[in-house]
């Protein structure tokens, strides 16, 4: 799906976030078309988390605009939030609630019609039926990652934002999750934005990649396109080229108007 | 506004409470121990002074009603802290949950927690000291409502403080009411306070509640103006603290604090 598509699910324009004198995100613009799976890549401090937090409405931009599913996220985010969801291994769920209790609460927050059936469906798909009754806090990091993903899928979102979706998972579990995400995107037509440092995962899941460095989007393309453009053999090598490149001014490449 | 989301959050606190023995004990032991302590103090007064029965009753009623305010405040502010401790704020606020829906769920839970905590203390006072809080009659409903509301707006200011200054400010949840207590006229009339401090005390809704309570106990007179003053002040403070909370919440979103709190 080309980013210039008229049916953009995400439309970000001149988005900037400053914390005091530090600029975390510096006037970025991009669009993400419906049904696409886009990777958001960049080294530590590139501005990925800040960008995702602004897309989710957790962080108010200093300037610029964000429209998600046609809704202005800066002013009217709640109507879009019903259609979105998010998972990150770095944001917890209540430890003293069981897996079922946690998912039931979130099913209520997203007004899911048949919460028990939806939780059972996710437990089957993401292979956590065995620990539905266990406290979330007693789970291993990999198990927590699966529950966080289940929480993110509880409302069958049209836009799914994922931060390191397979962090802490063994290769077998990670492979199953990726397969599930691919099936979910294909069957539901959902749009996904995935921030990850796992280049194999990005190559497998994403048809489109946004490369960030120091608060700017410095390149964009398909995994194969970027590999060819930089004359490299893997996406990881492209990542290293970009992350280690000397800053030039202006170094931003943007396609959105 | 969604009743379903308010219910979902209330359910979340119920799930937490029902399986946590320390949290359940925390509901009951404070009011129960306090009433035992103050019950013996009031008995001692009555044994040593023939005219002190009313003072003893006022002490017990004061203790029980002040605990309503304290528990009401704790119900909201500790509910907020539960989210900070579990680092759940990020997930909550990427859902369609609105901040006022969350507050309403916390207020509902605080009402139930306060009722659950107060009931054993009221029973102890009745069985052990022959004091019934219900002897205050119909005005009791007005006193309780005002103290609950006061607890809520105090809690909103505390939550705003934690949003602004971070988890380091969490002690406010337990300490804040002790700052107000000396000028809330819980155990003595406002007239006992120094002249310059009396207007400050009268700007606190609880002082009007306790003046009204003493009127009922000592003179069997219910002064509606005391209750109306308390309601009026509560309304103003509730509006102001809601504004402070919303500003603190907006400020937390601007700083990214919803993601960082609890780390």
Average pLDDT, chain B: 87
Mutate to test the interface with B, among A23, A53, A58 (most CBs of B within 10 A): A58
Q: How confident is the model at residue B49 (pLDDT cuts 50, 70, 90)?
A: low
Q: Are A34 and A9 in contact (CB under 8 A)?
A: yes
Q: How confident is the model at residue A256 (pLDDT cuts 50, 70, 90)?
A: very low
For residue A194, give how far its alpha carbon lies from the nearest alpha carbon of chain B (Å): 16
- Asked whether the beta carbons of residue A105 and residue B2 sit closer than 8 angstroms, the reply is no
Q: Is residue B260 pLDDT above 80, yes or no?
A: no
The two structure tokens encoding residue B150: 């006061």
Contacts of A96 in chain B (CB under 8 A): 16, 19-20, 86
Give B48's pLDDT tier (boundaries 50, 70, 90): low
Mean pLDDT lowest among A139-143, A178-182, A245-249, B34-38: A245-249
pLDDT tens by residue, B160-218: 999 888 877 788 878 888 888 889 889 888 988 899 999 999 999 999 999 999 888 88
Name the band, by pLDDT with cuts 50, 70 and 90, for residue A247. Answer: low
Find, among A22, A206, A97, the residue nearest to B85 by Cα.
A97
Residue A250: the pLDDT is 45
Cα dist from B120 to A71, A98, B53, whole Å: 51, 30, 22
Q: Which domains does chain A have, with CATH numbers?
A: 1-83+159-257 (3.40.50.300), 92-156 (no CATH)
pLDDT > 90: what percent of chain B?
A: 38
Taking 3-state DSSP, the helix, strand and coil percentages for chain A, each rounded to the nearest 5, stand at 40, 25, 35
Tell me how many helices (H) and strands (E) chain A has: 9, 10
Q: Which residues of A touch B259 (CB under 8 A)?
A: 53, 58-59, 91
Of A227-241, B31-45, B56-70, B179-193, the range with the lowest mean pLDDT is: B31-45
Measured in whole angstroms, how far is the alpha carbon of residue B85 from the centre of its chain?
A: 21
CA within 13 Å, CB half, A151: 34
Q: Which of A103, A93, A143, A98 is nearest to B86 (CA)?
A: A93
Interval A211-226: pLDDT, tens: 998 899 988 999 889 8
* pLDDT given at position B245: 93
Q: Residue A151: closest CA among chain B residues belongs to which residue?
A: B91
- Smallest CA–CA separation between A233 and chain B, in Å? 37
Q: Across all residues in chain A, what is the average pLDDT? A: 86
- Comparing CB atoms, the residue among B4, B19, B259 nearest residue A58 is B259
Pick from A164, A179, A208: nearest CA to A33? A208
pLDDT of residue A252: 47
What's the mean pLDDT in B66-82? 91
Residues of B in contact with A104 (CB under 8 A): 8, 11
Cβ atoms of B132 and B125 within 8 Å: the answer is yes
- For B66, B68, B120, B188, B214, the CA distances from B56, given in Å and listed in that order, are 15, 19, 19, 12, 11
Whole-number Å distance between alpha carbons of A158 and A61: 23
How does pLDDT run across B108-149, given as a tens digit for each residue?
A: 999 998 998 888 888 988 888 888 888 888 889 999 999 999
Contact A105 B8 (CB under 8 A): yes
Structure tokens at B26: 């925390």
Residues of A in contact with B92 (CB under 8 A): 109
Q: Which residue of A has its CA nearest to B94?
A: A56
Cβ separation A111–B19 shorter than 8 A: no
């Amino acid at each position: 799906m080309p980013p210039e598509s008229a049916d953009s699910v995400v439309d970000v324009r001149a988005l900037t976030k400053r914390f005091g004198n530090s600029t975390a995100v510096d006037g970025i613009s991009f669009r993400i078309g419906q049904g696409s799976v886009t990777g958001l890549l960049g080294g530590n401090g590139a501005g990925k988390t800040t960008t995702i937090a602004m897309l989710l409405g957790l962080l108010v931009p200093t300037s610029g605009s964000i429209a998600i599913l046609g809704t202005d996220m800066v002013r009217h985010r709640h109507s879009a939030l019903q259609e979105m969801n998010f998972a990150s291994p770095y944001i917890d769920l209540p430890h003293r609630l069981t897996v079922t209790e946690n998912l039931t609460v979130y099913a209520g927050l997203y007004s899911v019609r048949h919460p028990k059936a939806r939780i059972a469906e996710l437990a089957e798909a993401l292979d956590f039926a065995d620990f539905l009754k266990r406290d979330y806090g007693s789970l291993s990091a990999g198990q927590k990652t699966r529950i966080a993903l289940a929480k993110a899928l509880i409302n069958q979102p049209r836009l799914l934002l994922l931060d390191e979706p397979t962090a802490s998972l063994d290769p077998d579990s990670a492979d199953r999750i990726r397969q599930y995400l691919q099936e979910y995107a294909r069957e539901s037509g959902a749009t996904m934005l995935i921030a990850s440092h796992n280049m194999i995962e990005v190559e497998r899941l994403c048809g489109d990649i946004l490369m960030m460095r120091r608060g700017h989007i410095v390149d964009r393309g398909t995994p194969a396109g970027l590999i060819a453009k930089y004359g490299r053999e893997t996406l990881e090598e492209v990542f290293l080229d970009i992350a280690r490149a000397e800053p030039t001014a202006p170094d931003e490449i943007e396609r959105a108007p | 506004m969604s009743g379903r989301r308010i219910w979902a959050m209330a359910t979340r606190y119920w799930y937490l409470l029902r399986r946590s023995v320390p949290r359940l004990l925390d509901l009951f032991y404070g009011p129960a121990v306090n009433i035992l302590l103050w019950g013996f103090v009031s008995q001692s007064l009555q044994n040593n002074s023939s005219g002190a029965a009313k003072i003893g009753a006022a002490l017990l009623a004061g203790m029980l009603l002040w605990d309503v305010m304290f528990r009401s405040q704790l119900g909201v502010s500790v509910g907020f802290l539960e989210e900070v401790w579990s680092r759940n704020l990020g997930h909550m606020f990427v859902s369609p949950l609105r901040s006022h829906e969350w507050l309403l769920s916390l207020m509902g839970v605080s009402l139930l927690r306060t009722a659950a905590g107060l009931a054993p203390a009221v029973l102890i006072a009745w069985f052990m000291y022959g004091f019934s809080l219900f002897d205050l009659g119909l005005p009791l409903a007005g006193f309780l409502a005002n103290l609950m509301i006061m607890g809520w707006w105090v809690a909103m200011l505390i939550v705003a403080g934690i949003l602004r200054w971070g988890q380091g400010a969490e002690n406010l949840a337990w300490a804040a009411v002790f700052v107000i207590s000396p000028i809330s006229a819980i155990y003595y009339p406002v007239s006992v306070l120094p002249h310059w401090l009396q207007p400050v005390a009268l700007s606190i809704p609880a002082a009007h509640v306790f003046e009204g309570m003493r009127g009922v106990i000592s003179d069997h007179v219910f002064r509606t103006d005391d209750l109306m003053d308390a309601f009026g002040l509560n309304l103003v403070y509730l509006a102001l603290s809601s504004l402070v909370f919303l500003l603190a919440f907006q400020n937390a979103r601007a700083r990214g604090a919803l993601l960082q709190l609890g780390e």
